[in-house]
Amino acid sequence: MAQLHPSTSSICSTSRAHHLRTCPHLGQGSCRVLTKPHLVGRRAAPSVSSAPSTAESISARPVVVARSLFDNNKNGDDFGDRIIAALPFLLPLLDGLPYAKFIMLQYPFVARAFAPVAPLMYIYHAFPFAPFLVFLAVYNGIVNNTSLPRFVRYHAMQAVLLDVLLIIPQVILNDVWKAPGDDLGLQAYILAYNTLFLFTAVCSAYGMGSSLVGLTARLPLVAEAADHQVRDF
């Protein structure tokens, strides 16, 4: 019988001992390797399907931002509620337009800007009790209508209070303080007309714009009173 070379025998025994350490289930007489030594201890690659998709998360961010700006808009979630909340601001605007006569003469572009409202203003002032009836309709139909959201009723209440604020200047300018004859008095009279119109127009435009985008407008002089008048039910 041929004998193995000593070096060959030592190599075989060393290789076998290595395989027995890495594969304990192998028998003593087995020299067959079941696994590749270079794969032992290597981690499996993560599954592609289990890894989060960075592209999908990045592409979803604009959608989330857009929904937060338009759908989840702090107050007015329904677009119909926004329209109802904006319409009552036509009441103080229509009552304040007669005080724009001087500023429209000085700046004709203001008259052109309010030209679309002219037919509505004509109908509004054509009947003696039309402003009062519209006022009652807004107050009873919207402000005191507890089935409507507070967002709608709060803006309607601000429009009503803004319209009430016009009563005192109207009485002063139309009945008490007539148009004076001297230049200084006339300039003060025109300034009072322009200030009253600009205040009413800016507040009405701000209230309508905020209502349409679903934000709560807090108008000067009337916001705190509207908070006390409109309660959550």
* Cβ within 8 Å of residue 154, ≥6 positions away: 85, 216, 226, 227, 230
Phi and psi at 86, nearest 5°, equal: -85, -30
pLDDT on residue 6: 45
Window from 10-24, 88-102, 129-143 with minimum mean pLDDT: 10-24
pLDDT on residue 171: 84
* Cβ within 8 Å of residue 157, ≥6 positions away: 143, 226, 229, 230
Give the model confidence (pLDDT) of 105-122 as tens digits: 999 999 999 999 989 998
Give the model confidence (pLDDT) of 29-52 as tens digits: 444 444 444 444 444 444 444 444
What is the sign of the dihedral through the CA atoms of 79, 84, 85 and 91?
positive
**Per-chain mean pLDDT for the chain:** 75
Q: Which residue has the tokens 């500023």?
A: 103
Domain ranges of the chain: 75-229
pLDDT on residue 184: 82
* Cβ within 8 Å of residue 211, ≥6 positions away: 76, 82, 85, 86, 89, 155, 217
**Cβ–Cβ under 8 Å, residues 193 and 99:** yes
